[in-house]
């Protein structure tokens, strides 16, 4: 009997460790995207939630590029507690703050711990505080000198924010944590200002509305430079999620309808047919070479960066010098950056349905 008990304990430990390893082998982003369900009531989820609470700063936001599921030593926990009042490097870039709020909402639906609710609402207050008067959001708040002050569509930062605000103001069941009526009024104002900012920053090329840059100057609202290889341009990537957001709106204004129609026409105009991206990986699965191969059967793709005046795709190394073929830039940037995207295909796929709803008076793409 004792032998059976011993092996039962060993088996339980093995299963627990194996489950723990499976979860912790995932990226933080993929964990936050897991379907809601009983896992979020598990010991593993609760342990990760403790990390999320530790990493949150007193102002309400979180730093970026943190694998929240990573086990923390007692010393690391002390260091994080000491950083609570630190006002540096708090951001919505790379999914930061947004992902933590999504995770806490999923946790709260399974485990109604008031700390999760308080942290989520503090994140919401942080988002509202960080907004510019013109409706845009910077990459970091409190503001960090440099290109970080630009209105940031990069990596869908501002779209993520607006998606959160839209769900909360519409009182959907997307988030388990509800805001007060007073906060919802603030959210409605912030959301409307954000949409207005999107409309005002849509770039006009020779008088014709096109799309958006990954970042826009917070004062002039014009396309702006970020890192050396991220030059003012029209974005085939970030513009896609912007248009999907606009298409989700109920009762869109004439300006929103015009913005969507114009952007879709631009996506159709600049799509690249007959070109395939091939990737060569090493034994560890890391990309060691990218090549663009002619292929008549390849699905449409879009360049991430296009010239403001003629939509010509361009690429660059860290020296910021434009090249007009991916093969002309060095290995480091060629292989370490996403120069093409297929995200606009989702816009084109949804567009006809959206147009029919607009013409019939049944608008928005939420249903």
Which residues carry out catalysis? Answer: 94, 227
Contact 299, 338 (CB under 8 A): no
H-assigned helices in the chain:
2-24, 28-32, 43-55, 74-82, 98-110, 114-130, 157-169, 181-201, 238-247, 254-270, 331-335, 344-360
Q: How far apart are CA 98 and CA 77, in angstroms?
A: 22
Contact 154, 91 (CB under 8 A): no
Q: How many CA atoms lie within 13 A of 51 on its CB side?
A: 20
Best CA proximity match to 339, nearest among 290, 282, 269: 290
361's CB contacts (< 8 A; 6+ apart) are none
Best CA proximity match to 262, nearest among 208, 313, 329, 332: 208
DSSP 8-class letter at 170: T
Contact 260, 243 (CB under 8 A): yes
Best CA proximity match to 180, nearest among 128, 130, 245, 136: 128
Task: Taking the CA atoms of 172, 178, 181 and 183 in sequence, report the sign of the dihedral they define.
Answer: negative
């Amino acid at each position: 009997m004792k032998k059976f008990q011993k092996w039962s304990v060993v088996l339980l430990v093995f299963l627990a460790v194996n489950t723990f390893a499976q979860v912790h082998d995932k990226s933080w982003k993929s964990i936050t995207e897991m379907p809601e369900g009983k896992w979020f009531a598990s010991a593993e989820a609760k342990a990760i939630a403790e990390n999320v609470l530790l990493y949150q700063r007193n102002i309400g936001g979180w730093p970026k590029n943190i694998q929240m599921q990573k086990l923390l030593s007692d010393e690391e926990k002390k260091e994080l507690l000491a950083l609570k009042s630190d006002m540096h490097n708090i951001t919505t870039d790379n999914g930061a703050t947004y992902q933590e709020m999504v995770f806490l909402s999923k946790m709260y639906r399974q485990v109604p711990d008031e700390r999760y609710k308080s942290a989520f609402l503090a994140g919401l207050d942080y988002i509202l505080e960080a907004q510019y008067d013109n409706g845009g959001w910077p990459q970091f708040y409190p503001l960090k000198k440099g290109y970080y002050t630009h209105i940031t569509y990069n990596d869908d930062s501002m779209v993520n924010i607006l998606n959160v605000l839209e769900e909360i103001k519409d009182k959907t069941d997307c988030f388990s944590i509800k805001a007060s009526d007073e906060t919802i009024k603030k959210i409605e104002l912030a959301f409307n200002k954000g949409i207005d900012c999107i409309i005002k920053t849509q770039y006009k090329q020779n008088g014709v509305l096109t799309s958006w840059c990954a970042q826009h100057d917070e004062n002039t609202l014009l396309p702006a430079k970020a890192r050396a290889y991220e030059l003012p341009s029209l974005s085939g990537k970030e513009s896609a999620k912007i248009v999907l957001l606009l298409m989700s709106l109920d009762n869109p204004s004439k300006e929103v309808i015009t913005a969507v129609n114009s952007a879709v026409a631009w996506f159709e105009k600049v799509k690249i047919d007959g070109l395939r991206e091939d990737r060569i990986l090493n034994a560890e699965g890391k990309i060691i070479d990218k090549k663009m191969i002619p292929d008549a059967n390849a699905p449409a793709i879009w360049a991430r960066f296009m010239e403001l005046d003629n939509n010509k795709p361009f690429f660059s190394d860290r020296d910021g010098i434009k090249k007009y073929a991916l093969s002309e830039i060095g290995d480091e940037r060629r292989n370490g950056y996403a120069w093409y995207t297929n995200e606009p295909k989702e816009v084109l796929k949804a567009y006809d349905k959206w147009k029919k709803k607009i013409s019939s008076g049944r608008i928005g793409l939420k249903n």
